[in-house]
Amino acid sequence: MNTQTFTKAAQETAEKAAEQTERVEAYYTSVKRLGHWTGARTIDVTARRGSVQLDLRSAQIPEGDLEVRITGERSLLKLLVPDGTVVDERELAYEGRSEVKDAQRHSASGGRRLKLTGVLKRSEVRIVRGGMATLTAMFSREFVEDCRTAHRGGTLPTVHAPESVREGTPRDAD
């Protein structure tokens, strides 16, 4: 009975997190959110002359469609997504020289759906998948800090592959 209570409480917490909206703002700066940083399926990104890098590969994000609401002005938004993610950009408005770069746009299928909405004003969205997403995360200061913290705590780092490593997993666990 006690185990069922904890399981039910964890499920309710995950459902509440999924209903929440995460806000990310970058005004004339660079913002990175890597690893397990959110459990929400809706993310509001506001960027003006800045860059934002979001990791959407986390196992803590509940199943279902993701929505990224973008307001970008002369900015760069880089989204790290798992292989097979289908990107839907039909509701994204472009002003000036704006674009969504996705090298695997036409080959993605069968995965989670990522819906991009909002307005891009002379801005760019880059979709990075699979191995390139892992390398992008690994070549960051956040990864080095995550490795140091994991080493001190006897756990595994999560920034490089958040979809397969739960936060706080001991190093000896298989």
The mean pLDDT value of the chain amounts to 87
Whether 121 contacts 99, CB under 8 Å:
no
Reported pTM: 0.84
**Rounded Cα gap, residues 15 and 151, in angstroms:** 32
Q: What is the pLDDT of residues 46-96, one digit of tens each?
A: 999 999 999 999 888 888 999 999 999 999 999 999 988 999 999 999 999
Q: What is the pLDDT of residue 109?
A: 73
pLDDT band, residue 172 (cuts 50/70/90): confident
Mean pLDDT within 113-127: 96
Task: In whole angstroms, give the CA distance from residue 119 to residue 72.
Answer: 6
Tokens of 36: 């397990």
pLDDT given at position 18: 54
Give the per-residue pLDDT at 163. Answer: 79
What distance in Å separates the CA atoms of residue 117 and residue 88, rounded to the nearest whole number?
Answer: 9
Confidence band, pLDDT 50/70/90 cuts, at residue 12: low
Higher-pLDDT residue of 91, 7: 91
At 158, the pLDDT band (50, 70, 90 cuts) reads: confident
**β-strand partners of 51:** 30, 76
